[in-house]
């Protein structure tokens, strides 16, 4: 497996609370991504990063923020969790343009 780990793997939280998911890589890859996966919607891009402190929005970025203060870590924050953010979240990395992206194991988040 590529050196990518997500934490936590499972989380249950209450509506209105802040939540931070972490993606950690040991590959020194430039690009990092956060996706959410929901039945019937496939993998939808939330935010991605193309370098330290360089991030951009994806197609479903509302309600999410990200930070990348060092190459190895990409954090996804839900400032005030809502039930619509219940999902499986995947982080992915790749080192160069137009190359294979490696996925983390996923984080199952439930907002009650």
Partner 1 sequence: GENVEQHPSTLSVQEGDSAVIKCTYSDSASNYFPWYKQELGKRPQLIIDIRSNVGEKKDQRIAVTLNKTAKHFSLHITETQPEDSAVYFCAATAAGNKLTFGGGTRVLVKP
Give me the residues that bind partner 1 (CB under 8 A), please. 31, 33, 35, 40-45, 48, 50, 56, 58-59, 90, 92, 94, 97-101, 103-106
CB of 67 to partner 1, least distance (A): 18
- If the CB atoms of residues 41 and 70 are measured against partner 1, the closer one turns out to be 41
Q: Residue 59 or residue 62: which is nearer to partner 1 going by CB?
A: 59
Q: For 3-57, give the secondary structure using H, E and C.
A: CEEEECCEEEECCCCCEEEEEEECCCCCEEEEEEEECCCEEEEEEEEEECCEEEE
């Amino acid at each position: 497996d590529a050196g990518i780990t997500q934490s936590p793997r499972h989380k249950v939280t209450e509506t209105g609370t802040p939540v931070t998911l972490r993606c950690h890589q040991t590959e020194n890859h430039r690009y990092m991504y956060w996706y959410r996966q929901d039945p019937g919607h496939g993998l939808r891009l939330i935010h991605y990063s193309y370098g330290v402190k360089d991030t951009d929005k994806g197609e479903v970025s509302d309600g999410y923020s990200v930070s990348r203060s060092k190459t190895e870590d990409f954090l996804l924050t839900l400032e005030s969790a809502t039930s619509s953010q219940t999902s499986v979240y995947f982080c992915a990395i790749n080192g160069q343009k137009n190359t294979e992206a490696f996925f983390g194991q996923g984080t199952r988040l439930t907002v009650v």
